[in-house]
Amino acid sequence: MELLAAGGWGLLAGSALLLGALLGYLARIPAGIVASIMAFGSGVLLSAVSFELIAEAHERGGLLATAIGALAGAVIYTLANVVLARRGARHRKRSGDQQPSETEQSGSGTAIALGALLDGVPESMVIGTSLLGGGSVSTVTVLAVFISNVPEGLSSASGMRRAGRGAKYVFALWAGIAVISAGAAMVGYGLLGGVPGPVLAAITALAGGAILAMIADTMIPEAFADAHLWIGLITVAGFLTAFAVSHL
C-alpha cells in the first residue's frame, strides 16, 4: 500500500506539469506572469531542498554524506544538462522564442523531452523516500514539487508552441513525464527502503543537489528574464510560504 501511495503522490505532483502545459499551450499568458510564477516556484523548491532534503540528509547521515551526495547530484545534473543543451534542450523552460524547432536543430525535440525527465525525476524520487520509515509523505515536498511544476510546464509548453511543436507532441510529453514521475516516486520508496542511513542520506542529498542545480540553471534565469527587479521579492515569498507550511 505504501508503494502505491508513493506512486499516487508522485503522479499528483507530476500532473502539475500537464496542467501547466495546458495553460501554456492553449492560453496566451503574459511573460511577466509566467516569470513571477516561476520565481515563486523557485522559492518554494529552495525551501523544500533546504529544510526537507538537505536538513533531513544531515540528520540521517551527517555532514560528510550530505556534502558528498549534494555535490554528486549537482555534478551529475550539470554534466547531463550540458550534453542535452548541445542537442537543443538548453532553453527547454523558456517561454519565448529561444527554443529551436526541429528544422533549426534536428533532434532537439528528443533532447527537450530528455531534459524534462532530467528535471523531474529527482523531485519525484524524494517524494517516495519521504515515506520511508513508516511516516506520512512530506507535505512540503509534494507541495513544492507541484507548485514548481506548474510554471515549468507552462513556460516550456509556451516555448514549444512558439517553436512550432504540435499539441499532440506537447501534451503527450508532459502526460508521459507525469506517469514517469509516479514510477520514480515508487522507485524511491521501493528500492531505497533497506539501505543504511548514511547511504539514504547521500541519495537524498544527491537529489537535493540536482534540484538546486536545476533551479539555478533553468528556473531562476527564466524568471529573471521577465520579472527583473521583482524576482527577489517573489522568490522570498515562495520560500517563506513553503517554510510556513512545514511548521504547521
Helix or strand or coil: residue 91? coil
The answer to whether 155 touches 17, Cβ cutoff 8 Å, is no
Q: What percent of the chain has pLDDT over 70?
A: 84
pLDDT tens digits along 44-63? 889 988 888 898 889 888 89
How many CA atoms does the CB half-sphere of 103 hold within 13 Å? 3
Predicted structure pTM score:
0.81
Candidates 231, 241, 243; CA nearest to 37 is 231
pLDDT tens digits along 83-117? 888 877 676 666 656 666 666 676 666 676 777 77
Cα–Cα distance, 38 to 177 (Å, whole number) = 19
Mean pLDDT of the chain: 81
pLDDT at position 236, please? 95
Q: Is residue 14's pLDDT more than 60?
A: yes
pLDDT tens digits along 134-175? 555 677 778 888 887 887 788 778 778 877 888 888 888 888
Q: Is residue 239's pLDDT more than 90?
A: yes
> How buried is 59 (Cβ within 10 angstroms: 0-12 exposed, 13-18 middle, 19+ buried)?
exposed
Which amino acid does the sequence have at 204?
Answer: T
Q: At what angle do helices 2-26 and 167-190 cross, to 10 degrees?
A: 160
